[in-house]
Structure 1
């Protein structure tokens, strides 16, 4: 039997019912009866019983054997014996009192808790910051279409206002400049000088005196 597959099956069964504070210890150097001790907490009798049932189902579904189950009558401390690995499912008060980590916790086994599962966060762990940010982004995206029409309308009104007023202002300025230029040009001495140049001065014809002989 591959002990890694067995411990993975037990941990997956515990995670399916959201067990708290899962710990896996290597006990090969302490006992020849089993190689792993797995400790987990359940918040109530109902949850500890559900955790024990989930562990049995997970182990058997992968073709491995469950030897026995003890303590389901009261649900405070349930032991699921899977041969090479033993799972201790305890309520927090019982776990703190007996503190099995002092007996079997010499060599902790590091496992990626939740890696093979559906990705749900355990009840004992806070939700990661990236997941909170992703949820917030989804919520903002859902709320955005409701506010979009009002924002678009305001943006259109602001964008259109300068476009309409700008041509009128330019036209008015051009008209004012033209009118001022025409007024000044009409009274300009240069214009009078040009007119004077165009109109030649009249010459007074000289009269010749006719002499009679």
Structure 2
């Protein structure tokens, strides 16, 4: 599956599970880290873990394997690495504090 399709699928999964303020940022021209960031907010630790679990399950169904996940235990900021796509699921307060959208503002912002 191509990176843009992976990012869109992840955003759709997050939207279906009621994640808040979902953004897709194309960072392909800005970094070698990935092609896309998908950023979303959850409302609680339980909600953030559920969002992360759902993304992982749905992507496995698509044969897209999770390479690495960080922050799951504290669930304030869960990072999921799919190689060409990196998913950030934040608690709302932490998202505001770290403000990745500002840091990567040169990337083309795409709404889910």
1:37 is paired with a residue of what secondary structure?
strand
In the alignment, is residue 12 of structure 1 matched against residue 42 of structure 2? no
Residue aligning to 1:73: 73
1:63 CA drift (Å): 1.6
Q: What is the rounded CA distance, in whole Å, between the counterparts of 2:108 and 2:21 in structure 1?
A: 13
Partner of 1:60: 60
Q: What does residue 51 of structure 1 align with?
A: 51
Select the structure that is richer in helix.
1
Cα distance in 1 for residues equivalent to 2:10 and 2:105 = 18
Shift of residue 33 of structure 1? 2.4
CA distance in 1, matches of 2:48, 2:29: 29
Query: 1:30, 1:110 → 2: CA distance?
Result: 15
Residue in 1 that maps onto 2:98: 98
Structure 2 unaligned regions, length at least 5: none
TM-score by length of structure 2 reads 0.92
Q: Which has the higher contact order (CA 8 A, sep 6+)?
A: 2
SS of the equivalent of 1:51 reads helix
Instruction: Return the TM-score normalized by structure 1.
Output: 0.50
CA deviation after TM superposition for structure 1 residue 102, in Å: 1.4
Q: State the Cα RMSD in Å.
A: 1.3
Map 1:130-209 onto structure 2 (within 5 A). none
Structure with higher strand content: 2
Q: How far did 1:110 drift?
A: 2.9
Q: How many equivalent residue pairs? A: 112
Q: How far does residue 5 in structure 1 lie from its aligned partner after superposition?
A: 1.6
Displacement of 1:29 in angstroms is: 1.5
1:107 corresponds in structure 2 to 107
Task: Name the counterpart of 1:126.
Answer: none
Is the radius of gyration larger for structure 1 or structure 2?
Answer: 1
- Paired with 1:109 and 1:56, the residues of 2 have a C-alpha distance of 23
Query: How big is each residue's C-alpha offset from its partner over 1:157-179, in whole Å with a ceiling of 9 and x where there is no partner?
Result: xxxxxxxxxxxxxxxxxxxxxxx
